[in-house]
Amino acid sequence: MGARELHESLVVIDGHCDTAIPAAGFDFKSEPVAPLDLCVRNETGHVDFPRLREGGVTAQFFALFTDTAFLPEAREHTLRLLAAMESAIDRSGGRARLATKAADVVAAKRDGTLAAFLAIEGGEAIGESLDDLRSFYDRGVRLMTLTWNRVNAIGRGAEHPGPDGLTRFGLEVVSEMERLGMIVDASHLSDRALDDLLAVASRPVVASHSNSRAVCDHRRNLTDAQAERIAATGGLVGVTFAGVFVDSEPARVSVSRVLDHVDRLVAAVGPGHVGLGTDFDGFSAPYGLVMPDCSRLADITAGLLGRGYSDEDAARIMGGNWLRVIEAVAG
């Protein structure tokens, strides 16, 4: 089977993109702009429903991210982004459907549609309220990245390392997410906060969009030991395309360099604990682009085969591992 034929046969899952932001009508500087219509093929940005289908994507996690400008109204801003995604899904004519469980991914593959998962990036969205966490779950959110790079009520983000990690409330959030069936995402945590999470996690944990620190020494990337501990929960590391986490030199950012991260993580944790978390629409060209947009994701499958990965292992990395985690946590 050729690379393209294999790719088209796969369940392909991307664990992270920031496309909800332009869909809600905001740019990188949090300034109002014309909302991006996800139902048509655009020439700007990285993701829309038609290009996801061109890229063979079965399921996409759409992050609801609160930028610093919106922190005083984090919950309300998250609800704006959520409403924008609900509207886009409703207007898609069935080409995209809100997904909450593994069966939705299987159905999307069968029907040639997109399973759209909702995720929160940064626990500021729930403030200090478990009731708000439950409310977002009821609206369909099935993954939460506990912190962005900041410090919040849950714990310390990667840009603010310190002697403490997760707070008492943060530990309560993890416990409640596990009870509800929400995937706990460790990307953006400080090293100490990650230690605290992995000490208490009883269900699979993911780092939805993080690379290997051994390949690119950045605080947002993971050491081999951290990746091993995430894998030990049954979770995965989603390899990201954000240039600054791929290589410190923008000119070196490429599919090949992303595959270097895959190779290192597979060496550390095996092919059953690595996936994709592109961070499409969350980074800009000056830091280097792996590919123009999501329509080119078959290049990753071809690259895996070119490096000697079996069809089975390529299938795991491209989406099978995410599907396993979704089923284990969300049902």
Distance CA 274, CA 308 (A): 16
CB of 190 closer than 8 Å to CB of 155: yes
What pLDDT does 1 receive?
Answer: 80
Estimate to the nearest angstrom the gap between the alpha carbon of 307 and the chain centroid.
24
Q: How many CA atoms does the CB half-sphere of 319 hold within 13 Å?
A: 25
Residue 62 pLDDT: 99
Which of left, alpha, beta for 30 (phi over 0: left; psi -120 to 50: alpha)? left
For the four alpha carbons of 187, 240, 66 and 77, in that order, the dihedral sign comes to negative
Per-residue pLDDT of the chain in tens (331 residues, 90 and over written 9)? 899 999 999 999 999 999 999 999 999 889 999 999 999 999 999 999 999 999 999 999 999 999 999 999 999 999 999 999 999 999 999 999 999 999 999 999 999 999 999 999 999 999 999 999 999 999 999 999 999 999 999 999 999 988 999 999 999 999 999 999 999 999 999 999 999 999 999 999 999 999 999 999 999 999 999 999 999 999 999 999 999 999 999 999 999 999 999 999 999 999 999 999 999 999 999 999 999 999 999 999 999 999 999 999 999 999 999 999 999 999 9
Q: What is the pLDDT of residue 304?
A: 98
DSSP 214-256: TTS--TTSB-HHHHHHHHHTT-EEEE---HHHH-SSGGG-SHH
**Chain segment 170-225, per-residue pLDDT in tens:** 999 999 999 999 999 999 999 999 999 999 999 999 999 999 999 999 999 999 99
The model carries a pTM of 0.98
Q: Could you give all domains of the chain from N- to C-terminal order, each with its CATH number?
A: 3-330 (3.20.20.140)
| Tokens 């682009």 -> residue | 289
CB 117 within 8 A of CB 143: yes
pLDDT at 161: 87
Q: Dihedral of the CA atoms 97, 102, 108, 109 (nearest 10)?
A: 160
Q: Are 158 and 182 in contact (CB under 8 A)?
A: no
